[in-house]
Structure formats: C-alpha cells, structure tokens
Amino acid sequence: MTKTETIQSTSDDRIKNNATRHTYRTLSDAEKELMQGIKDRGAELIEAICIIAGHPVPDDMTPLPERNLELARQHIEDGVMRAVRHITA
C-alpha cells in the first residue's frame, strides 16, 4: 500500500491531490488563518460531541454509536466544509 501524500489545507500547493476543483486562487494570509480557525473550531466541537458519547474521537470516520450525536458530527463536518468553500471560493 502506498502512503498518500498529504498537503496542508492552507498550502498554495493544495491542488495537487484534488480531483474535482482544478484551479484555486491564492489565499491571503488572513484567509488561511480564518480557514484554519474554522477547521480547528469544528474539530473542537466534534471532540466535545465524542466526550458526550463517551467515545474516542475517531480518526477513521467510524460512526458514533448514538444516532443524534453522529448526525451532529456530520452536520459539523458539513458546516466546516461549506464555510471553507465560502472562504476559498
């Protein structure tokens, strides 16, 4: 198995591993900071939800055992994605 190359989301090289969006504009430092902050806050909220569930924070997208908490996690992920898309559009 080949290890997948990873690229920081704030890197200007982020198009290297993207299959759908073929062009990006260069983000300002303020936009990069804002994007990272949104992602950090989303991760903190997902961690808080996992604590409520008494479940470790999954690193492989394993669903949470309680449906409402899993839906909450999915909505946080969606909200983060949409906020980042707004910043990077």
**What dihedral do alpha carbons 38, 40, 41, 44 form, nearest 10°?**
160
In this prediction, residue 40 carries a pLDDT of 97
Rg over CA atoms, the chain:
15
Beta carbons of 9 and 35 less than 8 angstroms apart: yes
Q: For residue range 47-66, what is the model confidence (pLDDT) as tens digits?
A: 999 888 888 887 777 888 88
Tokens of 22: 């073929």
Per DSSP, the three-state class of 24 is coil
So where are the chain's domains? 26-88
What percent of the chain shows pLDDT beyond 70?
A: 79
In this prediction, residue 3 carries a pLDDT of 55
What mean pLDDT comes out for the span 27-32? 94
